[in-house]
Chain A
């Protein structure tokens, strides 16, 4: 497929006969295939050997450059004329494979962020780099993330409350301030909840009981019209 009429030396693959000093004289296609197989084998592991992966990927890129150079001629390394449709597809497939593979590895840290990220020495704010908690937004800076653990917690909280019927909250009886007090019960560690902790104190026990009754369905929401909720 990539053959340029170069005959593959028999000794090359079997390692028997003494070979030419420059193994790049060997056809790139067989090495290419071997490398792709290695990449895929590497990915069968949940946590691939990163060194192996990176070295194979870099070797593949080298081969890609070589093939592009050979295809495009020495004058046009950056914009090679497509040697053939097959080659082009192969090269772009390889490129995207490598990119996807490495990008997926970025997901590894979303699941279990390493603790040292939370323990940056104070003086190191300039140099300390935090983990992006999502790969879709990799550029969250250190100031935006207090700690990736609490970021995840906040995220999952919204999911928990997703299917709760919030129609009762739309009632006039409930002022926005009391809603924010409810959030304080969640125990989330973000700065918002800390500010609202004071609001929690203002809700006295009778209000809490009423809240519980409404949620459990004991009292219809309108039953205590006129009752003020502070």
Chain B
């Protein structure tokens, strides 16, 4: 797969599609909260604050003839979670979808896990494009025929019908989390998965809903001593006994489930010592890890903290092997960002299919890509302006200080309400999905 951007052999990103409402007035329920491609890349799922899941399917065009790869069109929409009321605590449980994870396809149907703060659900998405016709005792509209009027018998046959995509909940995994679920991750054994909240991680079997095993518990005996929470967790892509979880203090722990039933003792602890020259009141907050993702190879993992993306080699715990600055110009603005709570924004990150490029979001609807090989990076914008299909995106630049060049944006002009928290990269091709507040943008590399 080619590089991040720029000239030469690097790919050029083009606008492909945008989904969602056009107007600036954003309905709360339409705020996109998660984006995920399935294992083949043919399906793209989004979850929103209203508890809905929308799945897009890529058209399987004749790729030799077409000028671009297939477009993504709505395949299925369903209400995954409803708002619930916890009567015991007198509070409403948000229906917002925090994460969606696809299961690998085993038969004609597709399966995904979706979760809100408290409950995980396994959904089956299946197609129906045939229906039986020619019953002997039933009319076509379903009314029963009087048996005495039947003079001949026929065998009902399947006839094609308009494609119907049905989503049905197959399992509901509830009542296992006291705190808010931030992550779900399917194990490489495809039988179990983990769910993580602020203080605990549970292991589930996909077939069993009435119990789960607690594998990590960092809740102190005395809540007064609480100083750290779990922020993300993921299973290793190849080793079914290995998983990692990140914390609000900027540490990542790798755990081996073979070592003990309760993985409170990590096998490895990844932490970069604090740079003393950059110390401030906000050091801990900006070191808090908002996302952790293994590379497809399983050799590396990537973490996102407030200002940077770090690549870690699983064999080296004391420092990352690569660090990329996402928006270093914000370092001098931390006080204001603390005041308006932006410093607590949880940005996600993702790998491309060949693990050569990583991507993450920023403010002003900007998103950044870093090519690990060429060490080049690019800033692009997700915007409806000047975006016709197949127009190449223009690289953007933020001017940190001093004289602003033409086409540059000064830090003070950045819109901190326009944040790109969720991005996804097609597992095989150069197609990316970028979520702004309520719109989903799809970009592709330029096909000649």
Residues of A within 8 A of B (CB): 12-16, 18-19, 21-24, 26, 28, 31, 34, 38, 45-47, 49-52, 54-55, 57-59, 62-63, 66, 98-99, 102-106, 108-109, 111-117, 119-121, 123-124, 126-129, 132, 135, 138-139
Contact = CB atoms under 8 A, between A and B. Distances in A.
Q: What secondary structure prevails in chain A residues at the interface with B?
A: helix
Nearest to B412: A16
B248 A54 contact: yes
B66 interface: no
Contacts of B280: 22-24
Contacts of B141: none
B285 A102 contact: no
B281 interface: yes
Given A121-B261, A124-B262, A114 B339 contact: no
Given A54-B248, A109-B178, A121 B213 contact: yes
Interface of B: 86, 88-91, 175-180, 198-200, 202, 211-214, 217, 219, 221-229, 231, 248, 260-262, 264, 277-282, 284-285, 288, 332-339, 341, 344, 401, 412
6 contacts: A15-B333, A46-B90, A55-B248, A55-B344, A114-B175, A119-B213
A127 B262 contact: yes
B262 A55 contact: no
Contact of A51 (B211, B288, B401): B288
A50 B262 contact: no
Contacts of B224: 98-99, 102-103
Contacts of B223: 102-106, 135
A51 to B, nearest CB: 5
A50 B224 CA distance: 13
Contacts of B200: 114, 116
A105 B226 contact: yes
Nearest to A45: B91
A62 B284 contact: yes
Given A50-B198, A120-B214, A34 B221 contact: no
Nearest to B330: A15
Contact of A55 (B86, B217, B222, B285): B285
B401 A18 contact: yes
A43 to B, nearest CB: 13
B335 A19 contact: yes
Given A23-B335, A55-B344, 14 more contacts: A15-B333, A18-B332, A19-B333, A23-B334, A50-B226, A54-B228, A55-B248, A55-B288, A66-B281, A106-B222, A115-B176, A116-B202, A116-B213, A119-B214
A51 B90 contact: no
Contacts of B285: 55, 59
A127 B198 CA distance: 19
Contacts of A16: 412
A102 B89 contact: no
Contacts of B337: 15
Contacts of A52: 341, 344
Contact of B279 (A22, A55, A109): A22
A181 to B, nearest CB: 33
Contacts of A109: 178
Contacts of A46: 89-91
A116 B176 contact: yes
Given A52-B344, A105-B226, A127-B260, A62 B281 contact: yes
A115 B204 CA distance: 13
Given A15-B412, A51-B344, A127-B262, A117 B226 contact: no
A170 to B, nearest CB: 38
B221 A132 contact: yes
B335 A26 contact: yes
A47 B214 contact: no
A149 to B, nearest CB: 11
A54 B227 contact: yes
Contacts of A104: 223
A119 B281 contact: no
Nearest to B225: A102
Nearest to A139: B221
Contact of A138 (B177, B221, B339): B221
| In the A-B complex, the 8 residue pairs with the closest CB atoms | A124-B261, A15-B336, A127-B262, A106-B223, A46-B91, A50-B198, A119-B211, A116-B214
Contacts of A114: 175-178, 200
A51 B88 contact: no
Contacts of A128: 214, 261-262
A50 B228 CA distance: 9
Contact of A129 (B225, B229, B262): B262
Nearest to A108: B178
A187 B222 CA distance: 33
A103 B284 CA distance: 22
Nearest to A141: B221
B335 A47 contact: no
A17 to B, nearest CB: 9
Contact of A34 (B199, B219, B339, B412): B339
Contacts of B176: 114-116
A146 to B, nearest CB: 16
B2 to A, nearest CB: 37
A19 B332 contact: yes
Contacts of A23: 280-282, 332, 334-335
A57 B281 CA distance: 11
A72 B94 CA distance: 47
